Structure formats: C-alpha cells, structure tokens
C-alpha cells in the first residue's frame, strides 16, 4: 500500500484539478453571452465617440 500511495495522491490531485477546470469552463459559458453583449456595447460607444458630437 505504501508504494501505491503516491500514485493515488497524484490521481486525486488530477481529479480535483479537472473538477475545478470544469467549473471554470461552465462559469465562462454562463457569462459568455453577457460578456459578448458588454463588448458589443463598448465597441458601439467607441465608434460613436470617434464620429464626434451628434449634431456635426
């Protein structure tokens, strides 16, 4: 059992890492639409500021 323990620890650490990365990926997918909308709004605002004031 003593010689198998390091392999079990490595497997456990990898399993925890996979769960963490899966959680981060699901969080990014859930917030993806909101992030896309925010980027589009900021791009529109930048384009309007380059055109100048509305009356010119």
The pLDDT tens digits for 9-55 are 999 999 999 999 888 777 766 676 666 766 677 777 777 776 666 54
**Positive or negative CA dihedral for 30, 33, 39, 42?**
negative
DSSP designation for 1: -
Name the burial class of residue 13, with classes exposed (0-12), middle (13-18) and buried (19+) by CB atoms within 10 angstroms of its CB.
exposed
Amino acid 2: pLDDT: 84
Amino acid 43: pLDDT: 76
Tokens for 38, please give them.
């925010």
């Amino acid at each position: 059992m003593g010689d198998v323990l390091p392999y079990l620890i490595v497997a456990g650490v990898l399993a925890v890492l996979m769960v963490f990365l899966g959680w981060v990926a699901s969080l990014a997918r859930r917030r993806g639409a909101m992030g896309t909308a925010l980027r589009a709004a900021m791009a529109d605002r930048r384009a309007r500021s380059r055109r100048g004031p509305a009356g010119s």
